[in-house]
Amino acid sequence: MMINQPSGLWRMPDESELHQRTWMAFGASLDVWGQKLLPEVRRNLALIANTIAQFEPVTMLVRPNELNIARKLLSEKIRLLTIELDDLWIRDTGAVFVVNSQRQKTALDFNFNGWGQKQEFKLDAQVAAFVAQTGGVKRVVSDLTLEGGGIEVDGQGTAIVTESCVLNANRNPNLTKSQAELEFKKLLGVQKVIWLPGIRNMDITDGHTDFYARFASSGVVVAGYDPDPLSFDHEVTKAHLKILRASQDAKGQNLQVVVLQAPSRIRDKYASQDFAAGYINFYVCNGAVIAPEFGDQKADLAAKNTLQSLFPKRKIVQLNIDGIAAGGGGIHCTTQQEPVIHS
User: Tens digits of per-residue pLDDT, 89-125?
Assistant: 999 999 999 999 888 999 999 999 999 999 999 999 9
333 carries an active-site annotation: yes
Confidence of residue 202 (pLDDT cuts 50, 70, 90): confident
Q: In what order do the strands lie in the sheet with 336-339?
A: 79-82, 58-62, 19-26, 336-339
The answer to whether residue 2 is domain-embedded is no
The answer to whether residue 5 is domain-embedded is no
Q: Does residue 202 or residue 212 have the better pLDDT?
A: 212
What is the model's pLDDT at position 343? 62
CATH of the domain at 158: 3.75.10.10
Q: What is the rounded CA–CA span in Å between residue 340 and residue 343? A: 9
pLDDT in tens, 25-58: 999 999 999 999 999 999 999 999 999 999 999 9
The answer to whether residue 229 is domain-embedded is yes
**Which residues partner with 315 through β-bridges?**
288
Tally the residues of the chain.
Answer: 343
The answer to whether residue 3 is domain-embedded is no
Can you tell me the mean pLDDT for 139-166? 97
Q: What is the rounded CA–CA span in Å between residue 96 and residue 109? A: 7
Domain count, the chain: 1
pLDDT in tens, 203-248: 889 999 999 999 999 999 999 998 888 888 889 999 999 999 999 9
Catalytic entry in 99, 236, 266, 333 = 333
Domain span holding position 100: 11-339
User: Are 316 and 264 within 8 A, CB to CB?
Assistant: no
The answer to whether residue 1 is domain-embedded is no
In the chain, which ranges are continuous DSSP H helix?
30-52, 67-73, 90-93, 114-117, 127-134, 163-166, 177-188, 233-245, 297-310, 322-326
| DSSP symbol at 245 | H
Q: Closest Cα to residue 216, out of 316, 129, 117? A: 316
300 class by beta-carbon count within 10 Å (0-12 exposed, 13-18 middle, 19+ buried): middle
In 88-196, which ranges are continuous DSSP H helix?
90-93, 114-117, 127-134, 163-166, 177-188
Q: What is the rounded CA–CA span in Å between residue 49 and residue 53? A: 6
Can you tell me the mean pLDDT for 261-267? 93
How many other C-beta atoms lie within 10 A of the C-beta of residue 267?
15
